[in-house]
């Protein structure tokens, strides 16, 4: 994965997630990025619409954006992946290290295994795109 993509994702903590199951739904979620595994780790209650959707359709999409009005500083990613529950203790520890207050809530954790990332980075030139695809 391009270092520019990794640095952008690591710099942020909030993503927008879109799901489709019985309905189309989107939400915002705090995340931790595991660059080695190319996964986002997030917490969400099981009864939420987006998690109920993901039980019917594990394919999800989302965005992370740098909010700016300066066109030359626009950066953001769009991603596609597959969501599942976190079973790995290391992944759980990564989330709780970043968001230690979550420990008190004993959150249910989910991971999004990324398949594709498209980053728009105007700091590299207007409309510059960086693409990453998971090797199968």
Domain ranges of the chain: 3-131
What pLDDT, on the 0 to 100 scale, is given for residue 17?
Answer: 98
Per-residue pLDDT reduced to its tens digit, 108-121 = 999 999 999 999 98
The mean per-residue pLDDT over the stretch 89-105 comes to 91
The pLDDT mean for the chain works out to: 94
pTM comes to 0.92
Q: pLDDT at residue 134 above 90?
A: yes
The mean per-residue pLDDT over the stretch 86-112 comes to 92
How does residue 103 score in pLDDT terms, banded at 50, 70 and 90?
confident
Q: pLDDT at residue 54 above 90?
A: yes
Query: Domain 3-131 sits in which CATH superfamily?
Result: Electron Transport, Fmn-binding Protein; Chain A (2.30.110.10)
User: How does DSSP assign 51-94, residue by residue?
Assistant: HHHHHH--EEEEEEE---S-GGG-EEEEEEEEEEE---HHHHHH
The mean per-residue pLDDT over the stretch 9-34 comes to 96
């Amino acid at each position: 994965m391009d270092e520019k993509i990794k640095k952008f994702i690591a710099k942020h903590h909030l993503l927008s997630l879109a799901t489709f199951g019985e309905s189309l739904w989107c939400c915002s979620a705090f995340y931790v990025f595991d660059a080695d595994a190319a996964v986002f780790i997030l917490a969400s209650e099981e009864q939420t619409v987006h998690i109920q959707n993901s039980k019917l359709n594990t394919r999800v999409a989302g965005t992370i954006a740098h909010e700016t009005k300066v066109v030359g500083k626009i950066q953001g990613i769009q991603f596609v992946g597959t969501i599942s529950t976190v079973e790995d203790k290391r992944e759980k520890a990564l989330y709780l290290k970043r968001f230690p207050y979550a420990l008190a809530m004993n959150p249910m954790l989910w991971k999004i295994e990324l398949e594709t990332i498209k980053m728009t980075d105007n700091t590299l030139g207007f409309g510059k795109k960086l693409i990453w695809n998971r090797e199968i």
